[in-house]
Structure 1
Amino acid sequence: MKSITKRLFSALLFLSLILGAMHPAIGQNNQSNSQSGTGLNLNFDIFDGSYYSDPLGIQLAARQLPYDGTIDKSTYELGVNDLLSIRVEASKNFFIRGVMVNPAGDLIIPSIGPVNVDGLTISEAEQKIKKESEDYVKNASVVITLESPRPIYIQVTGGVPYPGKYMIPSQSRVDQAIYSSVTDGSRDLRNASLSNSSDFLTKGNYAYRNIKIEREDGSVEYADLVSYFRIGDAEFNPKVKDGDIITLKKQNIETPKVSISGAVKADYEFQFIKGDTPEKLLQIGGGFEVIADTSYLMIFRRTDTGAEKIIVEPENWDTFKLQPNDRVVAPFSDEKNTSASAWVYGEVEIPGNFPVYSGETTALELLELSGGLTNNALPQAAYLMRSGGFRNEIPNKFNADLMRRTSDQVIQGLEYLEAETKLSQNKVYIDLKDESQLAGLKIFDGDRLYIPRDENTLFVFGQVNNPGYFPYTPGANAMDYVSRAGGFALSADKDRVFVIKAGNATWYRPGETEIQSGDRIFVDRQPVEELNALRSYQIQKESIKNTRIQLIMTGITTITGIITTYVAIQNIRN
């Protein structure tokens, strides 16, 4: 016990000696810190260096803005509001974090003083600080890190709705620089965000392929945002610099255009600029479709006598110079589209996705590929859904608005037309038992054939006592199924019983069609009258009854008067 106490006392004594030795250094550090009004400066002599941090600079760094790409130390010119970190390696090292270039263009470096770096590249600033620090440290190595580049000012002019001066993040490209000038005119740098192609290419009728950028040194560059967004090459969307003047013009009806269409990923018409080639337009169009004929391109050019067709071979696509209003068309290949397919669902032997020749394969051939119908299929309820693509679109597509213009329909009739527009126009009803119909029905890429299961039931609903599914019995009529459903309900309209066919949902009177499995039987109800309307009807009914009685009484009175007059005349004669 005594030995443990002795060891503990020795350890405490050693710790006290260490703290006593460090106390002067800590006091000296605290004194140094109290003298530094701009930051925290700790001289850690035992670590052979110093560390300096500017609290204001750190706060500003927390608000740094997004910027594009990395900084090139050999070309980026420092200026007011750039936020830097500086590391000096020498016999006595020190590190400065979060120091900002002040409005005079100076960096305030402890022990060295102000160093003007305005207009210098980062590499040049490193050499200047090294030279200025020679009185403090010898043979120093200076490394500057750009913590946060300063925002820059640019001027946007031309036909934009919000011209003027804008402050944007450093390293911004032309698309971001002009974004606010064509959208909302916002000058709030905190709302800076990356724009997207759909925003630009649809915001006004502007000449996005010929944006002029005038630099402070007098040089001029041009941006082509259509090519940038369509191709993705940053060369068409250069970075802007402080003091740039950007001019964006409006297009008009006379602005020359070119287009790319045909067997390409995206048909597109846009502004013509000098130097356009078929190769460039093909890139803007996203390249060839799989079914394209890539052996040539067709150029259609307007002449005084009509339209001229020019065939351009692949080796000339990047050198052939287009003229204003040329139209480039990529031809389709004569080969069949081998990627086309159609789906078969439901009661077939092999449901799935099958290869087809779009517009050539028939429904009968598709059914044979799927192995034919199973014993549980309900052929009369089968239907085909078109894919709805542009190439498969139904020629006589239903357009209620167009038909309404010259129609003499009443309001209710127009409402019915409106309801018809909500029906699926891509649904094709087929009879799988009719091979001639199947052989004449063409299948297109993406079509879907549905064959429901035959559950050997009928659905009885409406004004019956027990609506629901009932087993199908061949030869049974509609009244037999109504009886199975508990008979007519109290409000049933016995004169309005209908058979609704499976598949096409066509309504028939019971005697007009053969009842089959999957059909539905509907019993309508007598009209439900609203209370006030019923009372009004009863009052009108009583009023008509009273009027009728009055007419009868008036007639009887008139006849009685005539008879009385006749009798009186006869008595006088006698």
Structure 2
Amino acid sequence: MLRSFFIKYRILLFAVAGLTISTVPGLGQVKPSGEQVLQMLKEAKEKGMTDAEIEKIALENGYTLSSLQEMRGGVSDVNEKVIQEHKLEKAVPRQMVDPIDDVKINQTPDTPEDVPLFGSSFFSTSSASFEPDLRIATPLNYILGPDDEFSLDLSGKYSEIFRLRVSPEGTVRLLNFPPIFVSGLTVDEAKKLILSKLGTAYSGGGVYANVSLDKIRSIKVTVVGKAKNPGTYTLSSLATVFHALHVSGGPSLQGTFREIEVIRQNKSIRKIDLYKYITAADASDNIMLQDQDVILIKPYNKRIKLTGEVKTPAFFEAVSGETLQTIIDYAGGYTPEAYTFSVNYRRNTGKEYKVGHVPEASYASFELKNGDRFDVGKILERFENRVTISGAVYRGGDYALEPGLQTVSQLIKKADGVAENAFLNRGLIQRLNEHLEPVNISFDVRKLLKGEIEDIQLRKNDVVVIKSIQDLKEAEDVEIYGEIIKSGKYKFFEGMTVEDLVFLAGGYTYGAIPYRVEVSRRVKEGVTEPGKGGEDVKLFELTLSDDLSVSGKDKEFALMPFDIVVIRRSQQYKIQRHSYVFGEVNYPGGYVIKSNFERISDLITKSGGLKEEAYLKGAQFRRDGHSVALDVASILEKPDQPSNLLLFSGDTLIIPRKQETVEVFGDVLNPSFISFDPGFNYRDYLSQAGGYTKSADKNRVFVTYSNGITKRTKRPLLIFRKYPKIEPGSRITVTAKLQDTNNQKLSTSERVMIISAITTFSLTIIRILPEIFNK
């Protein structure tokens, strides 16, 4: 948008300077800088042109009022940028912004939610700018003024077109007639006046005239008071009050929406109430403006806050004579969940707040005061005539407490009666007493329905509960597990057999043995005696065939609720298991484990043996994703040793190529990889890594070999250390000393005292030792 502004304004400035578009080099290709725009403005000013004349040229060159406003804002942006770049003192702008606009309207301790100001969004969108349409037919009530241009089209007996321009003195000239004063006249009045002046030249009648505006003038309108952007604006002479309010941003947060005044020649000619247009689309106040009109936006007089269950919660401005009902209507009325019987309010008494409520009958007469805050509550989840029935009836749910439905028996009848599986010995009525405390009332359903006991009168919000027989029993099911397609729980049915359950579970798996089916059953009271070693459950073994048939005594066996059936797997049935070998073997990949006695050495044999570049000392063996430290080279030499492990499914052996580096890691000065040298020992590699750091623990050095085996430094004698042998692919880890935070370094005086005490003790022992031995 800014680039478009620069192009438009550059064309305008060159037009002002007397140049044509063709003489503008690189137009639309290079965006002029802020300094260039200011320079062109300066040149226009030096030619004696005012801002109004520049804006007039813009209108004559096809610019709309909205684009003119855009250019004004663009120039302001450019000026701001140039000022900031040159660090100049910023001048006070013509259009001052009300500082109160920066304060949120809801910044009070009791309004944590965001509540908008009703009507403020009316001026926040550009789609409703009320910009006049210059392409409409010429309005007959349009008042002519200086710089207006119009055409007088004569037809009939004489045909001629006169193009007339209203001079600064308010006159037009045509033919050899003296100037005709038309300023301040409507288009219709000007047409009649001109025709009357031309009467002598076109006598005889039969002449018709039509007036159309060619170019309209611009007018100056000033917006003052509590506007968001007060100031003077150049508008089209067709502009209306709403358009002027829109370009100025409308009322500020402290401005009125209800009593905006239009002042013309120091007299108030109209009071504008924007709520009439916002709420009822009444545009009667949208009058046309004239040059030098002033729009005065006063501070608001009375503002009310309405929140809660209304369609448009907001701050509303009220005028004299309006009531609470008026504000509710402005808010669009209630939501479907609103409690409309009364509205709570809070009012500032001048000394403190007071609260109260307004009954519904007083909404239309309740007088409003500035700062009143109303809250429309939400209706409670209560019903004045509801009763409910649930459970073993055909049509449970909510019913209306009404004539013909006043008792429990009538409610059961309304619900189409009890179901066949209803438990008729007891029903419950859940009720709230006069203190809103829950109480239960039980009754015999069977006797009530037969009329053997007195019927029970219902109250609002009663809930009648009738249970089924199944509701009063633990859910009965049976379970099946093992070598079955769909193991799990299944609903129990009377007369269910094991073969029925196997059928429901999808049948056996391939490895199942149906002739060994185990059923476990819960033991109820009386079956065993406590303390006598009785059974906790009873076990049954059945024999089934593959076609789910049984014979003999098993044919009479029926399942009971909570039985658990287990289908066993055949002892000989095994699924294929695989182990894997990768790396430097002739045929890497997965291999089936034929028996439970295959070992690591067998896996190497299956893979076709090792390649020449295989490095057995670096071979790694993994089980369940974890590395197992093994010496595979030793296993191949002596397969009968315990480290030649039995193979499990998923075991993986990796045989790498010979590695030619050694890694030195940890508390050394230069941790790095060093090429393997058969003539190097531990100290040589340490030297290549820069030696120990100050925090290194020389007694805790580890060497980890490629196959995962780890060895550490040993001290066979107190003075000397023995380091592990270094092989290709080894990793030397030098650990840091353990820090004991509880021990602190001794001071010099403490050391002297300890040494003195040790010396004294030693001399004493030396002196008394001969005496001890002599004794």
Provide TM-score, normalisation by structure 1. 0.42
Bigger relative contact order, structure 1 or 2 (CA pairs below 8 A, ≥6 apart): 1
User: Please, what TM-score do these two structures have when normalized by structure 2?
Assistant: 0.32
